[in-house]
Amino acid sequence: MANKTGRRNFGHVRRLPSGRFQASYLGPDGRRYTARTPEGKSLTFDTKGDAEAWLSLRQSEILRDAWRPPAEPKPTPLTFRQYADAWLAHRRLAERTREEYEGLLTRHVYPRFGGLPIVSIKSADVRTWHAELAKKTGPTAQVHAYGILRTIMGTAVADEVINANPCRVRGAGNVKRAKNIRPASLPELEMLVSAMPERYRLMVLLAAWCALRFGELAELRRGDVDLKNKVLYVRRGVVTTRGNGRVVKDPKSEAGKRPVNIPPHLMPMVRDHLREHVATGRDALLFPSASDPTTHMASSTLHKVYGPARKKAGRPDLRFHDLRHTGAVLAASTGATLAELMARLGHSTPGAALLYQHASKDRDRVIADALSQLVSGNVTSIEKARTKQRTRRKKGSGQASA
């Protein structure tokens, strides 16, 4: 109802930019309510009179004490994809890592869970998805996809979006190697290096004896080599991304920035390589592109020559990254402690370094054989003592018989 000035005593009507009219009023509880349908959707009117009529009905309900607060509209359920996209957007990640996470979510997780309300995802759903995923992809991708799902769900628990993490598949976060990596023997390594073109030989040697990654080697520069102290300084790495091509970045952890002592027997080859294959200046790349000394070497360029070389060495199974494994096992076989291995390999946690310590146990037979070689064919004092003991026993038994 309007007063003499033309203004309503109850409620408010306003015209929207669309030309339709919206009605609202203050309820007895002091809160303002806007016209909505019984389902909770926004309600507008063709004319101002229709809006005023709606307000009159609400006023009548209040006067008759029949008014009840309208039900709040149910919020749209938060889907897993909405939460996961926000989770990814708010993480400080290296570009390569972000691409890996996006790929795992897009290929393996969103097709099953993306459109579901996050609160509706149960442990049984995850268990079924995990089993079906094994039929579609390899074990490594399966583990990584499960890992990103479990991590996101764990954050949702911390954010109180869900009550419990539905990712409870025992052992699903651990990948089993399809085969054990067999490190290169020293003769195999020698044959491999000999089969490589000269400009790539030091790269193979440093990968093996210094246990460096390809990305670390590709970004090494003249200024990172300390010839006097026989040290390489690993400060950066190069990775290939979909969006920006090859990108120079810091290691994933501070442990990745490290000095690596070069075995002395490599130093003549290091000096020769610097003299013959590296441009002048501290920023000159040690292993640049063959066509441009200022451009990083592509991994595909290396593999064009590495593939034939490993076949000549009789190790077609030996991936370039396996040379790092070779170097780690060699370091462990010298008796290096876990902390020393972690420092040399650039690991921030002991898990990976422990693998190499375990691998070095294979040398126990070599050690046992070497111990026997100390005897040099002579009867040891232990054997002499055992011979004397047997002789005494025989004499003792003979006297007892007599």
Catalytically annotated residues: 213, 321, 324, 347, 356
Quickly count: other Cβ atoms within 10 Å of residue 316's Cβ.
10
R_g over Cα of the chain: 36
Give the up-direction half-sphere exposure of residue 263: CA atoms within 13 A in the CB hemisphere: 14
Query: Which runs of consecutive H residues, i.e. helices, occur in 211-252?
Result: 214-218
C-alpha distance from residue 2 to each of 6, 11, 57 (Å): 5, 10, 14
Could you give the CA distance from residue 71 to residue 176 in angstroms, rounded to a whole number?
53
Could you give the CA distance from residue 360 to residue 334 in angstroms, rounded to a whole number?
9
C-beta contacts of 223-230 below 8 A and 24+ residues apart: 223/282, 223/283, 224/286, 225/270, 225/274, 225/286, 227/267, 227/270, 227/271, 227/274, 230/261, 230/262, 230/264, 230/267
Write the DSSP assignment of 191-202 as a string of letters. HHHHHS-HHHHH
Could you give the CA distance from residue 32 to residue 25 in angstroms, rounded to a whole number?
5
